[in-house]
Structure 1
Amino acid sequence: MSDLTQRHCTPYEDGVAPLTHEQAQDLLAQLHTDWSLSADAKEIVREFRFANYYETIAFVNAGAWISHREDHHPNLEVGYNRCRVGYSTHAIGGLSDNDFICAAKMDGL
């Protein structure tokens, strides 16, 4: 497991610079290989696949618990047997360590 799973999110405010493309690539290397970085380096995305709706919703609920504990929330697109998870730190208009911390914890599910 990545050491990202041992860290916790911290609040960010306007004026804090988002991660650079290079910084984001370095952190992306610590996640499951299914995560991808958007071309503008403002979001990371992964689609999780499941056998059925019940498993999908169980994953969503477990992810909601992580989001609540870390106070950092992804964009979710939920279908019958899939969930697309996207992280971005809206307060700074790009990516922060928080996005990678939560992504690593989602990988742990």
Structure 2
Amino acid sequence: MNDEIVTLASKRCRPCEGDLPPLATERVLALLPQLQPGWHLSEDGRRIERQMRFRNYYQTSAFINAVIWIAHQEDHHPDISFGYNEAHIAYTTHAIGGLSENDFICAAKVDALLGP
């Protein structure tokens, strides 16, 4: 299917056991603008990351629990750190040592939690 027709958030992650190479830089740079502003590529180019702020601990923890639910549904797990009113989410595909489309699919699903 064509990426212009199917949004990232509507896709499902595919199992990745290290059988594919990480996405080429050109593909990463084409997918990144499909996410909400705030996502950026790590300095080493192996992760996409986003820092988010919330009103309080309850909203932060509710958000984190929703991200964990997405990770469980997609079987693709981010690195998460959070405090009272902020959360940091980082996606990479550990099996390939870099980025796969799964990282962008899950990031788009996180964006959907936050709304437009």
Fold match by TM threshold 0.5: yes
Write out the 4+ residue segments of structure 1 that deviate beyond 2 Å after TM superposition.
none
Name the CA distance, whole Å, in 1 between partners of 2:22 and 2:80. 21
Compute the displacement of 1:7 (Å).
0.2
Return the letter of the residue paired with 1:45: E
Instruction: Give TM-score, length-normalised by structure 1.
Output: 0.95
Q: Deviations over 1:33-74 (max 9, x none)?
A: 100011332100001110000000000001111110000000
Counterpart position of 2:32: 28
Name the CA distance, whole Å, in 2 between partners of 1:93 and 1:73. 14
Name the CA distance, whole Å, in 2 between partners of 1:85 and 1:21. 21
Instruction: Look up the SS of the partner of 1:108 in the other structure.
Output: helix
Structure 1 gaps of 5+ residues are none
Specify which of 26, 42, 46 is matched with residue 50 of structure 2: 46
Compute the displacement of 1:27 (Å).
0.5
Give the share of equivalent positions with the same residue, in percent. Answer: 53
Counterpart position of 2:3: none
Across the aligned residues of Structure 1 and Structure 2, the Cα RMSD in angstroms comes to 1.1
Counterpart position of 1:104: 108
Q: Tell me if the contact between 1:46 and 1:84 (Cα under 8 Å) persists in the aligned partners.
A: yes
Counterpart position of 1:95: 99
Structure 2 gaps of 5+ residues are 1-5
Instruction: Give TM-score, length-normalised by structure 2.
Output: 0.90
Counterpart position of 1:7: 11
Specify which of 57, 68, 75 is matched with residue 61 of structure 2: 57
Aligned length: 108
Counterpart position of 1:84: 88
